[in-house]
């Protein structure tokens, strides 16, 4: 790791000098201080945001390099199941069992979302975040709900006015094989606005 390299490089320099012991000790202290400063900068990061060009950004970059070099963290950050789909084609819900099929899949890391059915099928246990925006097409309302398998989980209502819309965000604990989707809630004939104004997205938050 990078922090270890800093220590061993400065240690080697030290042994080449005369009075190697003192110099070596000094360098070790400098390296330790450097590592502590880096850690402090990292802790402070949560409170203040990084402005490009500032010294703190350099330390942040170094820490990001260290994080990238750790296989598990890299795996967690890059392979987290994530999807985002929008409704391109307007859809009419005419039956209580109708599922909204968000047909334009823009992101689908892990391939859990199926645009032909509108269903997200879980491959890893964990806590997930889902967000759904439904806009009504015309002056009728849209009653919708987010389902976890065959059960109502959260409800939504796009108001009875042209372009009435609502966004519902839900956190759900899911297990492999669970299915999440957006469906009709009342069974009336209701039109969902397409043209990418209605969207469905989700990702694994934590295991
Ligand atoms: C709204 O509904 C009308 C009538 O069904 C349809 O022709 C139109 O494409 C829909 N518009 C959108 C953006 O969903």
Task: Convert the pLDDT of each residue in 163-207 to its tens digit.
Answer: 899 999 999 999 999 999 999 999 999 999 999 999 999 999 999
> Taking the chain, what is the end-to-end CA distance rounded to the nearest angstrom?
26
Q: Are residues 143 and 162 in the same domain?
A: yes
* Mean pLDDT value across residues 114-118: 98
Distance from residue 193's CA to the centre of ligand 1 (Å): 7
Look at the chain and report how many structural domains it folds into.
2
- Tell me what pLDDT residue 71 has: 56
DSSP secondary structure string, the chain?
-HHHHHHHHHHHHHHHSSSHHHHHHHHHHHHHHHHHHHHHHHHHHTTSPPPTTSHHHHHHHHHHHHHHTSHHHHHHHHS--EEEEE--S-EEE-STT-B----EEEEEETS-EETTTTEEE--S-EEEEEEEEEEBSSSS-EEEEEEETTEEEEEEEE-SSTT-EEEEEEEEEE-TT-EEEEEESS-S-EEE--TT-SEEEEEEEE-
What CATH number did the domain enclosing 163 receive?
A: 2.60.120.40
Q: Are residues 20 and 116 in the same domain?
A: no
**Of 30-34, 119-123, 192-196, where does mean pLDDT reach its minimum?**
30-34
Q: Are residues 129 and 194 in the same domain?
A: yes
* Mean pLDDT value across residues 143-170: 96
Q: Check whether 157 has a pLDDT greater than 80.
A: yes
Mutating to test ligand 1, I would choose from 101, 137, 199 the residue with most ligand atoms within 8 A of its C-beta, which is: 137
Q: Are residues 118 and 144 in the same domain?
A: yes
Residue 139: band (very low, low, confident or very high) from pLDDT cuts 50, 70, 90: confident
Distance from residue 88's CA to the centre of ligand 1 (Å): 10
Distance from residue 58's CA to the centre of ligand 1 (Å): 51
Last residue of a domain, one of 76, 101, 118: 76
Distance from residue 17's CA to the centre of ligand 1 (Å): 79
Residue 97: both structure tokens together = 């069992």
Is residue 190 within 8 Å of 158, Cβ to Cβ?
A: no
Last residue of a domain, one of 76, 105, 128: 76
The radius of gyration computed from the CA coordinates of the chain, to the nearest angstrom, equals 26
Last residue of a domain, one of 24, 46, 76: 76
Cα–Cα distance measured from residue 188 to residue 91, given in angstroms and rounded to the nearest whole number: 13
- Tell me what pLDDT residue 186 has: 96
Q: Are residues 125 and 201 in the same domain?
A: yes
Cα–Cα distance measured from residue 49 to residue 206, given in angstroms and rounded to the nearest whole number: 23
Q: Are residues 52 and 130 in the same domain?
A: no
Is residue 119 within 8 Å of 204, Cβ to Cβ?
A: no
Cα–Cα distance measured from residue 147 to residue 100, given in angstroms and rounded to the nearest whole number: 11
Q: Are residues 155 and 56 in the same domain?
A: no
Which residue lies with its CA nearest to atom 2 of ligand 1? 137
Q: Are residues 11 and 102 in the same domain?
A: no
- Tell me what pLDDT residue 96 has: 97
Distance from residue 92's CA to the centre of ligand 1 (Å): 9
Which residue lies with its CA nearest to atom 6 of ligand 1? 90
Q: Are residues 143 and 178 in the same domain?
A: yes
Residue numbers of the domain that contains 33: 2-76
Which residue lies with its CA nearest to atom 10 of ligand 1? 90
Cα–Cα distance measured from residue 144 to residue 17, given in angstroms and rounded to the nearest whole number: 74
Percent of the chain with pLDDT over 90: 59
As for ligand 1, residues whose beta carbon falls within 6 Å of it are 90, 137, 191, 193-195
Q: Check whether 55 has a pLDDT greater than 90.
A: no
DSSP element (H, E) containing 13: helix 2-16
Q: Which residue has the higher pLDDT, 83 or 5?
A: 83
Q: Are residues 67 and 86 in the same domain?
A: no
Q: Check whether 91 has a pLDDT greater than 90.
A: yes
Q: Check whether 8 has a pLDDT greater than 90.
A: no
Residue 123: both structure tokens together = 């491959």
Q: pLDDT digit string (tens) for 57-85?
A: 566 666 666 566 555 656 666 689 999 99
Distance from residue 91's CA to the centre of ligand 1 (Å): 8
Mutating to test ligand 1, I would choose from 86, 89, 90, 190 the residue with most ligand atoms within 8 A of its C-beta, which is: 90
Q: Are residues 33 and 96 in the same domain?
A: no
Q: Which residue has the higher pLDDT, 82 or 5?
A: 82
- Tell me what pLDDT residue 79 has: 80
């Amino acid at each position: 790791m990078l922090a270890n390299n800093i220590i061993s490089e400065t240690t080697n320099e030290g042994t080449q000098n005369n009075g190697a012991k003192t110099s070596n000790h000094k360098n070790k202290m400098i390296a330790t201080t450097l590592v502590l400063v880096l850690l402090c900068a990292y802790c402070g990061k949560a409170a203040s945001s990084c402005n490009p060009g500032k010294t703190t950004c350099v330390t942040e970059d170094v820490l990001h390099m260290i994080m990238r070099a750790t296989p598990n963290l890299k795996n967690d950050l890059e392979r987290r199941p994530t999807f985002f789909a929008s409704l391109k084609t307007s859809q009419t819900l005419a039956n209580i069992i109708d599922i909204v099929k968000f047909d334009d899949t823009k992101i689908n890391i892990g391939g859990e979302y199926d645009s032909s059915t509108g269903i997200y099928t879980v491959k890893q246990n964990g806590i997930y975040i889902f967000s759904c925006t439904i806009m009504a097409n015309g002056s009728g309302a849209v009653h919708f709900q987010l389902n976890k398998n065959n059960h109502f989980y959260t409800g939504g209502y796009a108001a009875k006015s042209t372009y009435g819309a609502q966004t519902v965000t839900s956190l759900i604990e899911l297990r492999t094989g669970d299915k999440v989707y957006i469906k009709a809630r009342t069974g009336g004939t209701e039109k969902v606005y397409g043209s990418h104004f209605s969207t469905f997205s989700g990702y694994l938050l934590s295991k």
